[in-house]
Chain A
Amino acid sequence: MSKPVYVITEQRNGAFRKVSFEVVSEARRLADELGTSVVAILLGSGVSGIGEELGQYGADKVLVADNEIFENYSAEGYTKTILETIKNVDPEIVLLPASILGKDLAPRLAANLAVGLASDCVKLSIESGKLEAQRPMYAGKVIADYHFNSSPQLASLRPNIFPVLEPDSSKKAEVENVSVPVTKSDLKAIVKELLASEGGKIDISEADIIVSGGRGMKGAENFKILEELADLLGGAVGASRSAVDSDWRAHADQVGQTGKTVAPDLYIACGISGAIQHLAGMSSSKCIVAINKDPDAPIFQKADYGIVGDLFDVVPKLTEELKKIVE
């Protein structure tokens, strides 16, 4: 039997972020193929109680590093603790979320372990007992498959791509506390403060539905019609870089290569042309709707459904029609 598949999970304020369930579920799938178990690592302050929940998604064991030093995320503290935790196991596969936390943490682990890292993967598989990792490159113009020449094989998973297993409440994970080999005085970079987002109410990277606006919105005040549609659907409002650069929206709401990568169930692009850098951030969305007055706009090539027309007519009408079924 091969060694367990290890996963690093992420929690915020004592609750797992959804991406943690995605990573655990994918680890379960790979572990089943390899005939092995799943071990999850959880770091935080006062989080011992939530570890068990990961069992429902396929974790056999949860190692918890519970310490007040982890009140806020600490890259150094997390890195040292995880390295210490896996030191004696020498796992073959370690998975992380490609969230902002994971994108920071993963390369640090890789450097210390002197191994390769496949970041922001969209598909994983097992080929002859080894991990094959698929990820986009060149802003999504190319999809590449990677093999590892080093162990552990380290991969981060793009959020909202990997399906979450149906939680099975009869399954409980064994929870074990692990030690934290760092103290506050060891840390050279410290989070002093956490400011609330300037962006919309729901962060776009967490939203199941995103209504996005581009230069075609013509002004900050017009985003009201997108907010109405998003509110109705319980979604968030995103923006293209043009809209952000024009100061119509906060940078926290930008979708694309320079902004956030999102993969909601539904992405509605309004007055967005579909430049490659924008597509890089949203083309893995499950369903894409484009509303644009230019029938040749490249966004239509990526859209499942398109309406050619003036967004100032189409969007309010769409809100009106959807109201009939939502209410």
Chain B
Amino acid sequence: MDDPLICARAIHFAATIAAVGAIFFSIFIAGPAFSKVDAGARSPTVLRAQFAWLAWIGLAVAALSGAVWFILVAQSMSDTSFADVFSEGALWTVLLQTGFGRAWLARLILACLLAAVLTVSFQRRGKTPLANIFAVVLAGGFVGTLAFAGHAVGASGFEGVLHPAADFAHLVAAAGWVGMLVPLTLWLAAAARDEALAGAAYTVAKRFSNVSLVTVGVLLITGSINALYLAGSLFAITETDYGRLLLIKVALFLLMVAVAAVNRQVWTPRLVQDGNVASNREALSRLRRNAAIEVGFGALIIVIVAVLGMTPPSLHQQAITEMQHHSH
């Protein structure tokens, strides 16, 4: 049954995106904003610790769910029982002799390196630029290489290069948007309680919104490339499970974009209305609520992605249908 694999995939996607999002947020958004907060304030220390925990827990859960995912795939590949997959050397064969195994090996190495760099980066409060650069590159690599565990691989020629590259960028952008929403919500919640943070809330909301513009653009372009290769035709989108799931995913994505647009256009500008404390508080509260709603939509999208990876892509399914008709 595919259900345990779908669960492992969903948890792994969510944990990876959460961990990478926390790292991206700490470096790109929180770092610059903290410099505008009074040095004596206690909240930045608390928030830094929260982001670090988010990254560490995300990485730990990603490691665990990644191991379960790997074992389930190895079991399926080698047609053995759960017990035999450990005893008959199937794990090694999958790890060393298949593309999926080599991708997992590379991701394990990336995760270990990332953990080492994070230890330095978090200890020095993000003030070591070199460690930050390494953390961003390794975190991006860790989430992006998930592309090599899915439908993006398998083709030859130009598609064999463009499709995995587009999927890699898609995953990094997803972590840069959906993954950063959780630490953003934490920040906004803390800012509602602490005046020192509230002063930097506009910087945070604006920076996040600007980064989102870029990531949403990347998601649209790379998502279209993926859809072109996997869904292909109108028939394939409307008449297959894969296509219908993809439509739901796109609908959820558009809802997220709509909520994000309201945050950008309506509530973020209200944060700079000096002197109007009530208006600021309302804006903070609305921003936080909307960010939490976006997190909910993002989680649903991740579940769909976990199922999509297990569903035959529309074009494959369409071709099979045509073959069956042909042979009758």
A binds B: no
Interface residues of B (CB under 8 A from A): none
Interface residues of A (CB under 8 A from B): none
